[in-house]
Amino acid sequence: MRRLRNIKIVATLGPSSTGYDMIRALFRNGADVFRLNMSHGSHEEIATRHANIRKVEEDTGRPIAILADLQGPKLRVGVFKNGAETLSDGQMFRLDLDTAEGDNTRVCLPHKEIFEALEPGTTVLVNDGKIRLRVTECANDYANCEVIAGGEISNRKGVNVPDVVLPLAALSEKDKKDLEFVAELGVDWIALSFVQRKEDMLEARELVKGRAAVLAKIEKPAAVKSFDEILEVSDGIMVARGDLGVELPVQNVPPIQKRLIRKCRAVAKPVIVATQMLESMIDSPMPTRAEVSDVANAIYEGADAVMLSAESAAGRFPIEAVQTMHNVAIEVESDPTYRVVIGASRGAEKMTIADGIVSAAREIAETADIKAIACFSQSGTTVGLVARERPSVPIIAMAATTRTARRLCLTWGAHCVKTDEMGRFKEAVVRAVRAATQEGFAAKEDDIVVTAGVPFNVPGTTNILRVAPCDERKIYSAEPE
């Protein structure tokens, strides 16, 4: 099953998309990665979705990546005696640790850590920023606030504090239990929510113990400021624009998105653009024109993947949402302007032998009549480097393990093929040309480029490139071994 596009589609599963038939339909229509949202659903429900994905994988014969998204620390106000209150601009309102039901003058905020970090002048946002408060006086158990932007405040609405780095661990006790559960279940990626510093990622990596790749969700201003350090210790990045757009002025989000995508591409790590991409398709079979442009822009920017959240998890038209993303990707990637934009954003600096090999592979493939670049990868690093080049020909990712093949489903352009371990380069070339012809990338009279690292099965040793004919007889009659 060959995709005729390079960008990957991540589809979140939920009440609208739990069963085998729906998951298979989503995969057939374009979903490459399935997201399990640990904020919703019991462990039993998550295990059922995981099992259904693996059954689809087995029945279709194609690797599928599974991403488990941890909830992270959720900050919420308490409850109100009347269920809700309306706050007026300019009035005073108190947040405190008193568990009594709230009213028009106060409500409980059961997070002592927040009060320890607040200062006069700090902004507190409630209900996705619809209500904006400014702290005028505070102590370790309360904060008196002026209502800057009022509105209705109701039970357990979310709270954001964008101005400060909160002394909160990115992994709550629930997250730690969920992390262990999904790691043992066998997911391929684990996403950490509300990352603020690289230490958050290091803690998660220590708990994961190599059982899955670890992805950082960038949704707080502190994470943007510390992005370089966070990227260094992450396997991938998600630009989670929902909370990011609450905690920062909305006009800041597009340039941040572009900047983070470029930084991820420079170090050959996959990046997902997420949140509200086709929001209207939760209830409508057709997206808005602005949403289509949003998806298209992420593709032009060179993102590895775009993501559906509620559109596929709880919406009325999950298949149509996946189809829409797929169709937009096909159209954008066939646009001549796309190749111009992608080429212009390619970095020129080459630091290692591997960088030179993959750059040469792209240049040869685009100069000569080459049908594909096949790269052998033990850990996925080589495939990531080839994908960073954004070649105009397909990438065939020859993975020695099922785990690597699945993880690479998130990487731009990678068509993943599981292969056995090898000891000779000629054997690798034969496997590559067989995959290219069997998977429909090339015919017997065509050529492909093959990259690998010798000795085999040693991560990070990409050091050889060959233009190979797809006629096996020519391979066996040629050198080198």
CA-based diameter of the chain, in Å? Answer: 85
- Model confidence pLDDT, tens digit, residues 368-393: 999 999 999 888 999 999 999 999 99
Whether the Cβ atoms of residue 70 and residue 215 lie closer than 8 Å to each other: no
pLDDT (0 to 100) of residue 420: 84
Catalytic, out of 12, 122, 123, 275: 275
76 is catalytic: yes
pLDDT (0 to 100) of residue 478: 60
- Band of pLDDT at residue 452, cut at 50, 70 and 90: confident
Residue with tokens 């992994």: 171
pLDDT (0 to 100) of residue 477: 66
How many other β-carbons are positioned within 10 Å of the β-carbon of residue 273? 26
pLDDT (0 to 100) of residue 345: 87
316 is catalytic: no
SS3 sequence of 252-321: HHHHHHHHHHHHHHHCCCCEEEECCCCHHHHCCCCCCHHHHHHHHHHHHCCCCEEEECHHHHCCCCHHHH
Backbone φ/ψ region at 279: left (φ over 0), alpha (ψ -120 to 50), beta:
alpha
pLDDT (0 to 100) of residue 348: 62
pLDDT (0 to 100) of residue 359: 92
pLDDT at 400 > cutoff 70: yes
Rounded percentage of the chain residues whose pLDDT exceeds 70? 98
Closest CA to 107 of 77, 139, 70, 83: 77
Rounded percentage of the chain residues whose pLDDT exceeds 90? 81
275 is catalytic: yes
Q: Residue 369: which residues within 8 A CB-CB, separation 6 or more?
A: 446, 447
- Band of pLDDT at residue 168, cut at 50, 70 and 90: confident
DSSP SS3 for 151: strand
Nearest-10 crossing angle of helices 20-28, 43-60:
50
DSSP SS3 for 192: strand
pLDDT at 232 > cutoff 80: yes
pLDDT (0 to 100) of residue 349: 63
- Band of pLDDT at residue 481, cut at 50, 70 and 90: very low
pLDDT (0 to 100) of residue 293: 98
- Model confidence pLDDT, tens digit, residues 82-118: 999 999 999 999 999 999 999 999 999 998 988 989 9
Catalytic, out of 5, 8, 35, 62: 35
DSSP SS3 for 220: coil
Overall average pLDDT of the 232-255 stretch: 94
pLDDT (0 to 100) of residue 350: 65
217 is catalytic: yes
- Model confidence pLDDT, tens digit, residues 194-224: 999 999 999 999 999 999 999 999 999 999 9
Closest CA to 77 of 125, 149, 13, 130: 125
Can you list the domains of the chain with their CATH numbers?
A: 8-73+171-335 (3.20.20.60), 84-160 (2.40.33.10), 353-476 (3.40.1380.20)
pLDDT (0 to 100) of residue 421: 78
pLDDT (0 to 100) of residue 473: 77
